[in-house]
Amino acid sequence: MDYGKYRFEQMKREKEARRNQHIVEIKEVRMSPGIGDNDFNTKLRSAQKFLADGDRVKVTIRFRGREMAHTEIGTELLLRFADGCKDVASMDKNPKLEGRHMSVFLAPKNNK
């Protein structure tokens, strides 16, 4: 086998591998602690759609002003959100407060 044919076959295999790979993106869903039930359900459905597509989801709650005194509301909200997505996702880490933002990462479950 000559070198030109070998390089052609190798490039063909690499091109096929690139075509079949899926790049995992991180989608973000932002909320506030005083979110209503209908808004919460809408954001939950959009996150479930992102997870079904194979993307990771970062759920973030922004605290403003006196809301910082009640960060437990944000923790409960994030845990409720993760519980709503438990059939299609698993929670990577527990909710973590970073400055004025509390966030949690959800990764899609592999059903293969």
pLDDT in tens, 17-48: 888 777 778 999 999 999 999 999 999 999 99
Domain count, the chain: 1
In a domain, 16, yes or no: no
In a domain, 11, yes or no: no
pTM of the model: 0.75
In a domain, 34, yes or no: yes
Domain at 63, CATH number:
3.30.110.10
Is the pLDDT at 11 greater than 50? The verdict is: yes
The tally of CA atoms less than 13 A away on the side-chain side of residue 74 is 26
In a domain, 8, yes or no: no
In a domain, 52, yes or no: yes
In a domain, 90, yes or no: yes
In a domain, 18, yes or no: no
Structural domain range at position 103: 23-108
Residue type, 71: T
pLDDT tens-digit profile of 61-94?
A: 999 999 999 999 999 999 999 999 888 898 888 8
Measure Cα distances from 25 to 33, 41, 50, 57 in Å: 26, 22, 9, 8
